[in-house]
Chain A
Amino acid sequence: MLPEIGHFTLVLALVLSALQAFFGITGPALQRERWQAAVGPAVYGQFCMVSVAIGCLAAAFLQHDFSVEYVAQNSNSALPAFYRVAAIWGAHEGSLVLWSWILAAWSIAVAFFSRGLPPPFAARVLGVLGVVSLGFYLFTLATSNPFLRIDPPAPDGRDLNPLLQDPALVAHPPMLYAGYVGFAVAFAFACAAMIEGKLDSAWARWTRPWTTIAWAFLSVGIALGSWWAYYELGWGGYWFWDPVENASFMPWLVGTALIHSLAVTEKRGLFKSWTLLLAILAFSLSLLGTFLVRSGVLVSVHSFAADPTRGVFILAFLVVMIGGALTLYAWRAPLLKSNAGFEFTSRESFLLFNNILLVVATATVFAGTMAPLISDALGLGTLSVGPQYFNPTFLLPILPLIGLVAVGIHASWKKGRLGEKRGMLLTTLAMAGTVTAALMLGAYGGGMLLTPVGIALGVWIMLSSLADPIDRWRRKLSLTPGVLGMAVAHLGLGLFVLCVTVVESYTAERDVALEVGGRATVGRYEYRFDKIEPVQGPNYDGVRAEIAVLRDGRQVARLHPEKRQYWVQRSVMTEAGIDMQWGRDVFAALGEDLGAGRWSVRAQVRPLINHMWFAAFLMALGGVIAACDRRYRTAREARPVETGHAVPDPGPGVSVARVAPGEA
Chain B
Amino acid sequence: MSATARRASPWHYLLAALLVLAATPVWAVDPIELDDPVLQQRYRALTQELRCMQCQNQSIADSPVGLAGDLRREVRELLLAGASDQAIRDHLRDRYGDFILFRPDLNARTAWLWAAPFVLLMAGVWVAVRVIRGRAALAAQPDDEVDGRV
Interface residues, chain A, CB within 8 Å of chain B? 197-202, 234-235, 237, 240, 242, 268-270, 299-301, 332, 335-344, 346, 348-349, 352-353, 356-357, 359-360, 363-364, 367-368, 371, 375, 380-389, 391-393, 395-397, 414-415, 444-451, 500, 504-515, 518-524, 572, 574, 591-592, 594, 598, 600, 638-644
- B contacts, CB < 8 Å to A: 1-16, 18-19, 21, 23-25, 27, 30-33, 48-49, 51, 55-59, 61-62, 64, 69, 97-104, 109-110, 113-114, 116-118, 120-121, 123-125, 127-128, 131-132, 135-141, 143-150
A235 x B62 contact (CB < 8 A): yes
Whether B100 lies near A268 (C-beta < 8 A) is: no
| Shortest Cβ distance from residue B122 to the other chain A in the assembled complex, whole angstroms | 9
The residue from A234, A340, A513 contacting B27, defined by CB atoms under 8 A apart:
A513
- Residues A343 and B139 in contact, CB atoms below 8 Å apart: yes
Closest CB of chain A to B142's CB: distance in Å? 10
By CB atoms of chain B within 10 A, which of A337, A340, A348, A396 has the most?
A340
With contacts A447-B3, A594-B30, A598-B25 taken as known, whether A336 is within 8 angstroms of B139 at the C-beta atoms is: no
Q: Which residues of A contact B19 (CB under 8 A)?
A: 521
Q: How far is the CA of A511 from the CA of B76 in the complex (A)?
A: 14
**Contacting pair A344 B3 (CB below 8 A):** no
* The residue from B4, B9, B97 contacting A388, defined by CB atoms under 8 A apart: B9
Q: How far is the CB of A436 from chain B (nearest CB, A)?
A: 14
Instruction: Answer whether A642 and B146 are a contact pair too, CB < 8 Å, given A360-B120, A393-B117, A506-B14.
Output: yes
Q: How far is the CA of A356 from the CA of B129 in the complex (A)?
A: 11
B57 touches A242 (CB 8 A): yes
Residues of B within 8 A of A382 (CB): 97-99
Cβ contacts under 8 Å, A519 to chain B: 21, 23-24
Residues of A within 8 A of B5 (CB): 446-449, 451
The minimal Cβ–Cβ distance linking A535 to chain B, given in whole angstroms, is: 19
Contact partner of A641 among B10, B51, B69, B146, CB < 8 A?
B146
| Across-interface contacts of B62 in A (CB, < 8 A) | 235, 237
How far is the CB of A552 from the nearest CB of chain B, in Å?
Answer: 12
Measured CA separation A522–B16 after assembly (Å): 8
Contact B97 A269 (CB under 8 A): no
- Of all chain A residues, the one with the shortest Cβ separation from B8 is A449
A506-B4 Cα distance, complex, nearest whole Å? 9
- Return chain A residues, CB-CB under 8 Å to B124: 356-357, 359-360, 397
A385–B51 Cα gap in the complex (Å)?
Answer: 10
Name the one of B1, B61, B146 contacting A643, with C-beta atoms under 8 angstroms. B146
Task: Let me know if B9 and A509 touch, CB within 8 A.
Answer: no
The minimal Cβ–Cβ distance linking B69 to chain A, given in whole angstroms, is: 7
B90 to chain A, nearest CB (A): 15
Cβ–Cβ contact B3 & A391, under 8 A? no
Q: Could you tell me the distance between the alpha carbons of A598 and B29 in the complex, rounded to whole angstroms?
A: 13
Please determine whether B109 and A380 come into contact, CB atoms closer than 8 angstroms: yes
**Can you list 18 pairs linking A and B with CB atoms under 8 Å apart?**
A200-B148, A235-B62, A270-B135, A336-B150, A341-B138, A342-B132, A344-B132, A348-B135, A367-B113, A382-B97, A509-B13, A519-B21, A521-B19, A523-B3, A572-B64, A574-B64, A592-B64, A592-B69
Other A-B contacts than A381-B98, A510-B18, A512-B33, 5 sampled, CB-CB below 8 A, are: A371-B104, A371-B113, A508-B3, A524-B1, A643-B145
CB distance from A280 to the nearest CB of B (A): 17
Name B122's closest neighbour in chain A (CB-CB).
A360
- By beta carbon, the residue of chain B nearest A399 is B10
Return A245 CB to nearest CB of chain B, in Å: 10
Tell whether A383 pairs with B3 under 8 Å between CB atoms, given A396-B118, A520-B24, A641-B145.
Answer: no
What's the Cα separation between A304 and B24 when bound, in Å? 42
Task: Please measure, in the bound complex, the distance between the C-alpha atom of A340 and the C-alpha atom of B145, giving whole angstroms.
Answer: 7
Residue of B at shortest CB range from A359?
A: B124
Q: How far is the CB of B5 from chain A (nearest CB, A)?
A: 5
Q: What residues on B are CB-neighbors of A572 within 8 Å?
A: 64
Contact status A201-B104, CB under 8 Å: no
Q: Are the C-beta atoms of B2 and A268 separated by less than 8 Å? A: no
Is the pair A341, B140 in contact by a Cβ cutoff of 8 Å? yes
- Asked if A397 and B103 sit within 8 Å, CB to CB, the answer is no
Inter-chain contact A346/B117, CB cutoff 8 Å: no
CA distance A642 to B5 in the complex (A): 55
Report how far A348 CA is from B4 CA in the complex, Å.
42
> Do B116 and A391 touch (CB < 8 A)?
no
Is B117 in contact with A391, judged by CB distance below 8 angstroms?
A: no
Residues on B with beta carbons closer than 8 Å to the beta carbon of A343: 135-136, 139
* Whole-angstrom CA separation of A389 from B128 in the bound complex: 26
Partner of A384, one of B51, B140, B148: B51
Flag if A388 contacts B102 (CB, 8 Å): yes
Cα–Cα, bound, A388→B13 (Å): 12
**Contact between chains at B51 and A386 (CB < 8 Å):** yes
- Residues of A near B2 (CB, < 8 A) are 445-446
Residues of B within 8 A of A504 (CB): 10-14
In the bound complex, residues from chain B placing their C-beta under 8 Å from that of A513 are 25, 27, 31-32
- In the bound complex, residues from chain B placing their C-beta under 8 Å from that of A446 are 2-5
Assuming the contacts A269-B148, A340-B138, A386-B103, asked whether A392 and B120 have C-beta atoms less than 8 A apart, the reply is no
In Å, the complex CA distance between A339 and B141 comes to: 10
User: How many angstroms from the CA of A32 to the CA of B141 in the assembled complex?
Assistant: 45
Q: Is A505 within 8 A of B103, CB to CB?
A: no
Q: Is the CB of B147 within 8 A of A269?
A: yes
Q: Which residue of B lies closest to A600 (CB)?
A: B32
Decide if B57 touches A387 in the complex (CB within 8 Å).
Answer: no
